């Protein structure tokens, strides 16, 4: 059975590419455009991996990550943060809050696929 | 030959002895004859007696003149000489007394010349001190930085105009002044913390024990404060022992603008770096999809292309915006001078003709044009272009003209004849300026960009005239600025008083402090009438301050007030303030907080203070501003000093004490007179044994006038 990936990002222009890429890579893909929608989808779909943007309306990626990690039911859900904010303190913060990986835009799609496969190993 | 005193004594003794013996002998002989019954002898004896008395008088008179009167007169004259060393004593009396007089005169002469030397020395020292003071005043006035010097109690000993502007800006009243507390502006704990740091550094023997902090002013300006200690021997230490901090210097930088600018620049950089990540990420991902999956459907392909197009457009707009903002920022940073265009042209004529060896003429110069320009680089531009015209187009004369198009200054560098093609103009613009002795890494374009200027080549075919036209930003003619600066410079304000260094307010409670060492706010009010409890209101407050026994005529509070009621005609005649003058003035509720701040840490002085204080007290409840400062009343003090005088009106007191009255019946004018009067009263009170604030208040309360109620 194919693994489930949730793309949580409010920017349609990146969602188009990542969604296309993930489907082509054989994943089952769902999309959320804000933080709250992302939490709903995580609860409903129990994705194996969340590609989580930091700057989102309603609830930012850090908060979503923190809430997911607070619930042991989702301990197996991998979280890869994708963000346009590249300060190393923010990377450290994401990892400290329980993210499994952190990629800064602009990233290479090949690196993204490699990272996703590694996390879902 | 001079006789010694001993020999004179022997001779005088021998003479007086021989004379007395002669007389005695005659007297004895006559007495014997009288006893023998000769009547003539009795008469002769009487004559001899008379002769003896006359002879004694004749001998003693000159002796008394010479040796009693003369020394007494000499003593009196010497006393006069003691007071006035230009006088001399008259050499009278005996030779010895005359010698003494000469010696006294010599002594007086020496003292006089010594006194003259001392006076000259003092005059020299004073002149030098005055020169130093003037230099310091000019230096302080011209410093771009704001400077405040305080003693350890936070009293201000020195400040410059810039500090006054920064710290009092937007507050409506003067917050800083000589002898005032710095804590009206900065939090006490902030300064205490900084002093603590500096103290530790001093103890640790650091070479530069200063500290820095950032804080805000009451008006919300952001300041960077550099605090450096002033060290010295404390008064009373006897000059030896450890050197300790006696005060501190604050250098203030208003970084509000810098901070805003830095914020803007940060935002600019961020918009390009962090802000570029998202769009670039989107473009990269879409491009990689297109590249990696060539088999995708046409519709999908169109979507990716559309993403790329959108993002590239957005990114282009962002870069465009950022570069414009950067150009603005750059031109703001480049030091542009404001100068008269005609002056720039005059400089240019001299420089270009000297450097290029060509005649340069002025024509049509608009004298009213002021411009913002970095003159050094711009003159390089003119020299460089003229040199290339001369070398490459054989131009033999150039002309400069200056006009304005309303928004820019237009400066033309013109010549007769030859036109230049646009490609050449462009090359000249972008190549580094290296000709005519100019050797600059900058190009004409660089200079124009940084100076927010433009240039182009233009040609009038009919007249065969060609020119480079330069557009430069216009500046305001600085008439107002100059006028303001002149006022500030014309009369040197009392901006510093280093005698305050040794003052300490902790040493006494207020009542125990000497009148001569307190700070005072002398004030007066003008009102709508005489009955505060019947609705009369204050319409003007004028105040000045006395610090260290000086009336500070530059530190004043002078404010008209809208009484929010009718202004009776009768009162207008007294104070000359008309209802029109009060339109748009602040109400009392706005003015009292400012006035209270002006009075902080001082003793209030007013003439008939009870009247003014009553007005202020009636406002306490409405405004919440309490004037709970000690008050001295010159009317009551006058009654203490001269209880038998009929009038204690301000004019009468001023006349008695020799104070010249100018500008009475404005609140500020009366405050000045009251202040002068008060300063004259302080030493007179001291003669009566009234030295402290407590003693003065007590004496005033006992006078009849203290019982008048308002």
pLDDT, tens only, A12-66: 988 988 999 999 889 999 999 998 999 999 998 899 999 999 888 888 888 888 8
The answer to whether the beta carbons of residues A22 and B289 sit under 8 Å apart is no
Q: Which domain holds residue A11?
A: 4-113
| Residue B675: pLDDT band with limits 50, 70, 90 | very high
Tell me the average pLDDT across B292-298.
Answer: 88
User: For position B657, what pLDDT does the model report?
Assistant: 85
Substitution target in A105, A110, A111, A112 with the highest count of B β-carbons within 10 Å is A105
Report whether pLDDT(A87) > 80: no
Report whether pLDDT(B463) > 70: yes
Chain A residues close to B307, C-beta within 8 Å:
13, 16-17
Residue A121 resides in a domain: no
Closest approach of B315 to chain A, Cα-based (Å): 13
Which distant-in-sequence residues (6+ apart) come within 8 Å of A35 by Cβ? A8, A56, A57, A58, A59, A60, A61, A63, A64
User: For position B492, what pLDDT does the model report?
Assistant: 41
The answer to whether the beta carbons of residues B611 and B634 sit under 8 Å apart is no
Residue A119 resides in a domain: no
Q: What is the ipTM score, two decimals? A: 0.79
Which among B281, B296, B303 is the nearest to A105, CB-wise?
Answer: B281
User: For position B173, what pLDDT does the model report?
Assistant: 58
Residue A69 resides in a domain: yes
Pairwise CB contact (< 8 Å): B283 & A106:
yes
Chain B residues close to A109, C-beta within 8 Å:
284-285, 288-289, 292
Which among A11, A21, A84 is the nearest to B289, CB-wise?
Answer: A21
Tokens describing residue B204: 């640790």
Report whether pLDDT(B488) > 60: no
User: For position B71, what pLDDT does the model report?
Assistant: 86
Tokens describing residue B19: 């004379």
User: For position B487, what pLDDT does the model report?
Assistant: 37
Pairwise CB contact (< 8 Å): B285 & A86:
no
Residue A120 resides in a domain: no
Catalytic residues of B: 665
Per the model's pLDDT, the better-predicted residue between B208 and B386 turns out to be B386
Pairwise CB contact (< 8 Å): B282 & A14:
yes
Closest approach of B303 to chain A, Cα-based (Å): 8
Residue A41 resides in a domain: yes
Note the pLDDT tens digit of each residue in B513-524. 889 888 899 999
Domain with residue A93: its CATH number is: 3.40.50.2300
Report whether pLDDT(B172) > 60: no
Pairwise CB contact (< 8 Å): B289 & A20:
yes
Closest approach of B332 to chain A, Cα-based (Å): 30
Which among B281, B289, B296 is the nearest to A84, CB-wise?
Answer: B281
- Give the residue ranges of DSSP H helices in B188-255: 188-203
Substitution target in A7, A9, A12, A17 with the highest count of B β-carbons within 10 Å is A17
Tell me the average pLDDT across B337-343.
Answer: 81
Tell me the average pLDDT across B276-301.
Answer: 89
Strand partners, B279: none
Per the model's pLDDT, the better-predicted residue between B176 and B194 turns out to be B194
Q: Going from the N-terminus, what domains does chain B have, and what CATH number goes with each?
A: 1-140 (no CATH), 260-333 (1.10.287), 337-476 (3.30.565.10), 508-707 (3.30.420.10)
Pairwise CB contact (< 8 Å): B278 & A20:
no
The answer to whether the beta carbons of residues B209 and B198 sit under 8 Å apart is yes
Closest residue on chain A to B311 (Cα): A13
Note the pLDDT tens digit of each residue in A99-116. 898 888 888 888 999 999
Note the pLDDT tens digit of each residue in B426-451. 889 888 887 766 667 778 888 888 77
Report whether pLDDT(B529) > 60: yes
pTM over 0.80: no
Note the pLDDT tens digit of each residue in B212-268. 888 877 777 788 889 999 887 655 554 455 668 888 999 988 877 777 777 788 888
Chain A residues close to B300, C-beta within 8 Å:
20
User: For position B242, what pLDDT does the model report?
Assistant: 62
The residue among B499, B497, B496, B495 whose CA lies nearest residue B235 is: B499
Which distant-in-sequence residues (6+ apart) come within 8 Å of B34 by Cβ? B41, B42, B45
For chain A, the domain total comes to: 1
- Cα–Cα distances in Å, from B506 out to B152, B153, B170, B513, B546? 11, 8, 32, 10, 20
User: For position B235, what pLDDT does the model report?
Assistant: 53
Closest residue on chain B to A103 (Cα): B281
Which among A11, A18, A24 is the nearest to B293, CB-wise?
Answer: A24
């Amino acid at each position: 059975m194919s693994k489930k990936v949730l793309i949580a990002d409010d920017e349609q222009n990146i969602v188009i590419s990542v969604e296309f890429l993930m489907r082509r890579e054989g994943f089952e893909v769902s999309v959320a455009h804000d933080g709250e929608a992302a939490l709903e989808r995580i609860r409903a779909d129990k994705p194996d991996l969340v590609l989580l943007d930091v700057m989102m309306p309603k609830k930012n990626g850090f908060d979503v990550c923190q809430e997911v990690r607070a619930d042991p039911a989702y301990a197996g859900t991998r979280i890869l943060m994708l963000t346009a904010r590249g300060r190393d303190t923010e990377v450290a913060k994401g990892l400290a809050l329980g993210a499994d990986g952190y990629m800064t835009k602009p990233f290479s799609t090949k690196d993204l696929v490699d990272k996703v496969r590694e996390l879902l190993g | 030959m001079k006789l010694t005193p001993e020999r004179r004594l022997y001779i005088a003794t021998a003479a007086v002895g021989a004379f007395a013996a002669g007389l005695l002998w005659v007297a004895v002989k006559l007495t014997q004859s009288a006893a023998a019954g000769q009547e003539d002898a009795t008469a002769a004896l009487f004559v001899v007696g008379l002769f003896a008395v006359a002879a004694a008088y004749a001998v003693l008179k000159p002796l008394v003149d010479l040796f009693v009167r003369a020394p007494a007169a000499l003593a009196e004259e010497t006393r006069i000489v003691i007071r006035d060393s230009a006088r001399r004593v008259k050499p009278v009396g005996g030779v010895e007394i005359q010698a003494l007089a000469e010696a006294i005169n010599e002594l007086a002469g020496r003292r006089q010349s010594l006194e003259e030397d001392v006076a000259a020395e003092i005059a020299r020292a004073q002149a030098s001190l005055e020169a130093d003071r003037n230099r310091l005043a000019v230096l302080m006035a011209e410093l771009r930085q704001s400077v405040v010097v305080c003693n350890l109690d936070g009293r201000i000993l020195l400040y410059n105009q810039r500090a006054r502007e920064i710290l009092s800006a937007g507050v409506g009243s003067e917050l800083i002044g000589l002898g005032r507390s710095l804590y009206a502006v900065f939090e006490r704990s902030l300064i205490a913390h900084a002093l603590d740091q500096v103290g530790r550094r001093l103890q640790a023997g650091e070479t530069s024990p200063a500290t820095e902090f950032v804080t805000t002013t009451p008006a919300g300006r952001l300041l960077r404060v550099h605090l450096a200690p002033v060290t010295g021997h404390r008064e009373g230490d006897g000059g030896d022992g450890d050197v300790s901090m006696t005060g501190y210097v604050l250098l203030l930088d208003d970084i509000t603008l810098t901070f805003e600018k830095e914020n803007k620049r940060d935002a600019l950089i961020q918009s390009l770096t962090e802000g570029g990540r998202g769009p670039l990420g989107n473009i990269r991902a879409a491009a990689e999809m297109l590249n990696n999956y060539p088999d995708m459907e046409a519709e999908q392909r169109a979507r990716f292309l559309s993403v790329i197009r959108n993002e590239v457009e957005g990114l282009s707009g962002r870069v465009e915006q950022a570069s414009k903002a950067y150009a603005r920022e750059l031109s703001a940073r480049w030091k542009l001078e404001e100068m008269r265009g005609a002056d720039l042209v005059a400089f240019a004529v001299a420089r270009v003709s000297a450097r290029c060896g060509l005649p340069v003429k002025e024509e049509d110069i608009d004298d009213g044009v002021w411009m913002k320009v970095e003159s050094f680089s711009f003159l390089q531009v003119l020299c460089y272009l003229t040199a290339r015209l001369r070398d490459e187009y054989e131009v033999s004369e150039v002309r400069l003209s200056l006009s304005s198009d309303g928004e820019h200054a237009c400066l033309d560098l013109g010549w007769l004849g030859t036109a230049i093609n646009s490609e050449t103009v462009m090359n000249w613009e972008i190549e580094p300026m290296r000709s005519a002795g100019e050797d600059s890494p900058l190009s004409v374009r660089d200079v124009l960009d940084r100076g927010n200027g433009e240039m182009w080549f233009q040609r009038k075919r009919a007249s065969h005239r060609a020119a480079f036209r330069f557009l430069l930003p216009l500046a305001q003619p600085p008439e107002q600025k100059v006028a303001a600066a002149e006022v500030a410079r014309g009369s040197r304000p009392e901006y510093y008083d280093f005698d305050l260094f040794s003052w300490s307010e902790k040493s006494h409670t207020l009542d125990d402090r000497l009148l001569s060492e307190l700070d005072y706010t002398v004030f007066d009010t003008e009102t709508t009438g005489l009955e505060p409890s019947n609705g009369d209101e204050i319409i003007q407050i004028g105040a000045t301050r006395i610090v260290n026994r000086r009336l500070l005529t530059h530190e004043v509070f002078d404010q008209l007030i809208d009484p929010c009621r009718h202004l009776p005609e009768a009162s207008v005649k007294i104070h000359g303030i008309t209802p029109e003058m009060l339109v748009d003035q602040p109400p009392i509720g706005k003015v009292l907080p400012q006035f209270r701040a002006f009075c902080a840490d001082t003793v209030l002085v007013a003439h008939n203070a009870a009247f003014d204080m009553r007005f202020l007290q009636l406002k306490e409840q409405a405004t919440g501003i309490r004037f709970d400062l000690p008050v001295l009343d010159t009317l009551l003090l006058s009654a203490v000093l001269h209880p038998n005088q009929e009038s204690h009106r301000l004019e009468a007191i001023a006349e008695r004490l020799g104070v010249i009255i100018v500008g009475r019946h404005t609140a500020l004018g009366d405050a000045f007179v009251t202040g002068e009067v008060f300063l004259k009263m302080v030493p007179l009170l001291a003669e009566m044994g009234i030295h402290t604030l407590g003693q003065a208040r007590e004496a005033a309360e006992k006078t009849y006038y203290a019982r008048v109620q308002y």
